[in-house]
Amino acid sequence: MRSAALRLVENDPPTILSVATAVPRFRLDQADVARAAARVFDRERSDIDRLMPVFDNAGIATRHSSVPMEWYFETHGWRERNQRYLANAVELLANAATEALEEAGRKPSDIAAVVVVSTTGIATPSLDAVLLNRLDLPSTILRLPIFGLGCAGGVIGLSHAAALARTLPDGDVLFLAVELCSVTFRRGDMSKSNIIGAALFGDGAAAMVIGRPGSSGLRLGSSGMHTWPDSLRVMGWDVEDDGLGVLFSRDIPTLVREEMRPAADAFLARCGLSVRDLAGYVCHPGGVKVLDALEQAFELAPGTMAAARDILREYGNMSAVTVLFVLQRMIRDGLGGRHLMSALGPGFSAGFQIIEG
């Protein structure tokens, strides 16, 4: 006869007990960033003059950075970049995790597993190991660091955390995400991708406590992924001598407009659902054009994804972290009913997660 604990895991989904966020102390106004970009990029070796309108059209008013503005005018090597990444990532994650635990009414000893997503730096020992003592987490905790998911990491990482929670009836899961896009900016890179990245990306961290089956809160349902074939160069990093070089295709909005809906419909069908069963969407706002494309793909009125647009305007694109800021905002505003959470990232891949209010 199966134990009551096993039946609990099978029949009760994990839940979201709390969502907390953190940003570094340097706040950048988009107008100041645009003026700085005009000075940083060489006018003869780049398309900065032609691309300057992207700073005004990005739908971003402010962002946060782990480094001050003057840092961008200097040359930095890979070692220095990663040192800054480690120091700032640990600090932001510790702050967000502490707040998430307090909001959830949980102690560090209640956490049975921790999942950490990040793609803007390298940590070995991994960030979860570094945070073990900082947060006084149990020495027996299960740890899962995830690298390489880029902007899709917030959704796919959450799905992995939820899957872990389903196997742990006696403990909760701490899900953490941090991205410090600021330290990846390379002033010698005159590519269009780097210029657009300078107009879009910011820094931030998020923490969530995922409750063991039987806990109250928003329920985490089915999850899934879709990876398009022959799409490895759509989005990602090129590893250069002085750091990580941003790579993304100008065709991303078109891909979203034409390919996202069929992938989402197929995922929902596997869950026995359709878009008619959804109360709304929690989407990663990669940029204004991507949000426009998502609304078109899901046949929504322009501006429907208001929370995503607000987060983009206030914080910029924080890669994997951004969708978790959107989720926090929508929960604050009373999210209810069944929602489809989604994000796109390197691969080129989409991550899907059902959330039920």
Q: Give helix 306-315 / helix 322-332 axis angle, nearest 10°.
A: 120
d(CA 304, CA 9): 36
Cα gap 344→304, rounded to integer Å: 19
Q: How far apart are CA 20 and CA 98, in angstroms?
A: 9
Identify which of 125, 210, 213 has the alpha carbon closest to the alpha carbon of residue 174.
Answer: 210
Helix (H, G, I), strand (E, B) or coil at 5: helix
Please say whether the beta carbons of 26 and 66 come within 8 A: yes
Q: Which of 151, 181, 271, 283 is catalytic?
A: 151
Residue pair 97/174 in contact by the 8 Å Cβ criterion: yes
Asked if residue 81 lies in contact with residue 245, where contact means CB atoms within 8 angstroms, the answer is: no
Distance linking the first and last C-alpha atoms of the chain: 32
Helix, strand, coil shares, percent, the chain, to 5: 45, 25, 30
- In the chain, count of helices (H) and strands (E)? 13, 13
Q: From 79, 97, 135, 150, select the one nearest 321 (Cα to Cα).
A: 150
What DSSP line would sit under 230-255, residue for residue?
T-TTSEEEEEETTEEEEEE-TTHHHH
Give yes or no: 181 in active site: no
Please list the active-site residues. Answer: 151
